[in-house]
Amino acid sequence: MKIGLYGYENAGSTTLFNAITGFNIPTGFSGDRQQTHLGTVKVPDPRLDVLTGLYNPKRTIHAELVFTDFPAASREKKALSNIQEAKSMDLLVLLVGAFSSDGQKPDPVGELENLLTEMVIVDLEHVSKYLEKQRKLPASAAGKDPRLVALVERLLPHLENGLPLRSFGLTSEEETALRGFSFLTLKPALAAINVDETRLSEKPDEAMDRLAEHHRVRPFLLSARVEEEIGRLAPEDQELFLADLGLTEKLSGRLLRAAYDLANLMCFFTVGPDEVRAWTIEKNTPAKQAAGVIHSDLEKGFIRAEVFTYDDIVEVKGNEAELKKRGKVRLEGKDYIVRDGDILHVRFNV
């Protein structure tokens, strides 16, 4: 899963990136503002720690997310650099500055509106170009898909009205048909509002809420600088600091959970003496596709999956033989919908 950070200069995107990844990239004008930064973050999951205790494996592998901090957009030009790369992201974090700095009045609502509008324009241009190309093709042209063209035609007025495709009301079949376009305004997005730490427990104001609702993005309050500082403390001190701010968890944990929720993601596990590992899939994924996340051979040669739940294996302290005796190990076929916390042994043949 790939998460892209976008925002205007000085909104604090590189500071946020440092807070999440633990990196120490120079921020503000001391940094190289044209550089793109990439960082991998382990998804914390207490269940994985418990399973590690039960199986005592050679290695434990967390689910991982990759964060990309794109160069900040220039306020004068408005344009977002690398906006085309947003198409390959699974989730967007649109960061706006709401903290006070040198007497300058922040304008988080205006910033967010610009970012969101920019994304509508990218999709609108994509749709217009596609339709223009299709119109020029003879009816008999290979690969012509009149149903897809008709669907895309229906999207045009919606985008022309400045609305995101998230609010179009697409059916899941239509969404699948449109996947190849990678529309930006269909991607799950967090509106990350970078506030002073004293305002962390406040709610986003009404104008912000209205805008976020209009574009179907989820507001998320954070304080990048203070979280960056907390990240540099010893773990014991981190908890104290967080508690002082009225928080129970570091930014990376909160943000990752919001991302999983918004993108409709969940984890299943594989276990054994070599490796205990968490895997990320979308909710409602059938067993065969879930196996494909582990390895394409497991999907191709999928026969069945032995499935048991995290809670059940914890109850028998990792004793799978005992679990079988109790009839708690199921044999599931390719269409079984994998659930959060399921543990899978995939049987396959290639």
Ligand X SMILES: Nc1nc2c(ncn2[C@@H]2O[C@H](COP(=O)(O)OP(=O)(O)O)[C@@H](O)[C@H]2O)c(=O)[nH]1
Residue 90 contact among ligand X, Mg ion, none, beta carbon within 5 to 8 Å by kind: none
Per-residue mark of binding to ligand X, 238-277 (x: CB under 6 A): ----------------------------------------
Q: Which CB sits closer to ligand X, 241 or 279?
A: 241
- Look at the block and give the residue holding tokens 């409709």: 264
97-116 residues in contact with ligand X (CB under 6 A) are 99, 101
CA angle 174, 175, 180 (to 5 degrees): 110
- Report the alpha-carbon distance of residue 271 to residue 278 in Å, rounded: 9
Burial class (CB in 10 A: 0-12, 13-18, 19+), 72: buried
73/278 with CB nearer ligand X: 73
Among 4, 7, 106, 164, binds ligand X (CB under 6 A): 7
Residue choice 2, 9, 282, 304 for contact with ligand X (CB under 6 A)? 9
d(CA 227, CA 15): 9
d(CA 117, CA 215): 9
Minimum distance from CB of 197 to ligand X (Å)?
7
229 touches ligand X by CB under 6 A: no
Cβ proximity to ligand X, 106 vs 292, nearer residue: 106
Other residues' Cβ atoms within 10 Å of the Cβ of residue 229: 16
Angle at 1 between CA 288 and CA 306, to 5 degrees: 25
By CB under 6 A, tell whether 21 contacts ligand X: no
Closer by beta carbon to Mg ion, 14 or else 285: 14
Minimum distance between the CB of residue 343 and ligand X, rounded to whole angstroms? 40
Binding partner of residue 271 among ligand X, Mg ion, none, CB under 5 to 8 Å per kind?
A: none
| Residue 224 interacting with ligand X (CB under 6 A) | yes
Alpha helices in the chain (DSSP H): 13-21, 46-55, 108-136, 146-160, 172-177, 206-215, 224-231, 235-244, 251-262, 287-294, 296-300, 310-315, 320-325
Does residue 15 interact with ligand X by CB under 6 A?
yes
Q: Which spans of this chain sit near ligand X (rule: CB under 6 A)?
A: 7, 9-15, 27-28, 31, 72, 99, 101, 194, 223-225
